[in-house]
Amino acid sequence: MTLKFSKMHGIGNDFVVVDCRAQPLALDAAQIAHMGDRHFGIGFDQLLTIEPAQDSTCAFRYGIYNADGSAALQCGNGVRCVVAWLHRAGALSEGAARLESPSGSVGVELLADGRVNVDMGVPRFAPEQIPLRMPASDIYWLQVDDIDIEFGAVSMGNPHAVIEIADVATAPLSTLGRALSADAAFPQGCNVGFTQIVDRAHLRLRVWERGAGATLACGSGACAAVAVLRQRGKLDGDVAVQLPGGTLDIHWDGADAPVWMSGAAEFVFEGEIAL
């Protein structure tokens, strides 16, 4: 069996995109994890499938699988790559459309300069919606690996913990990030973002993603960081979030408004893998 794919990235967050419009993906978690291995497979942070929509209001559906083979609910950088892939395939025109994600429908807009604007939805702060097994609070505290951690928590279609830090260059991604991501307080695990406020319109961010590890960029993580810190009154409505792979532009009016994310989506190569 061989599988054709496109390799893409959104500011360094890299993906394998598979066309499943004619037939569903016939791979199990172990096969996806093998493909995701950067030494023995293709290598990616997430695998994205493009499928027929089940929601009649949406043009297409996309699925998301982490490098370890586990399913994910949302991926901001991945959405942009899906839009760019569909546009190149002649299936989506410039302008606004809706796509169906594992966490619900998503508004997208392909801009004239090739960037993609994505409605990432309204941030959900209630613990039961994240989900988080702690009483509701703007600031949470946990002891992880004998270290006291102060963090914010929000769902952007997937769970996020946001930790404010003085310098993201020193962020303990593989130790504290990994441990908090798997802590029992988050029954579905979480993505852990370490963020540094440069000024009210500029953040620096590094993210440990559940199921993928440290990545060069995380679109939903950028939205989560802005939502948590703007809710605390520390940011304005338009924020440039600088990640190791590049910068995302995030806009949030606050309260019950959706978060909008804009950024690039790039093709790397086309390939075929034997399975």
Residues annotated as part of the active site: 75, 218
How far apart are the C-alpha atoms of 164 and 205, rounded to whole Å? 9
| Closest to 93 (Cα-Cα) out of 144, 59, 68 | 59
121: left (phi over 0), alpha (psi -120 to 50) or beta: left
Judged by DSSP in three states, 131 sits in coil
* φ and ψ of 198, to 5 deg: -85, -50
Instruction: Please report, as a single letter, which amino acid is at residue 22.
Output: A
CA dist., res. 15 & res. 245, Å (int) = 14
User: Which residue in 184, 183, 231, 177 sits closest to 208, CA to CA?
Assistant: 177
Specify whether the CB–CB gap between 192 and 207 falls below 8 A: yes
> Rounded to an integer, what distance in angstroms lies between the CA atom of residue 79 and that of residue 83?
6
Query: What's the CA angle centered on 144, arms 123 and 191, to 5 degrees?
Result: 30
With tokens 């695998």, the residue in question is 47
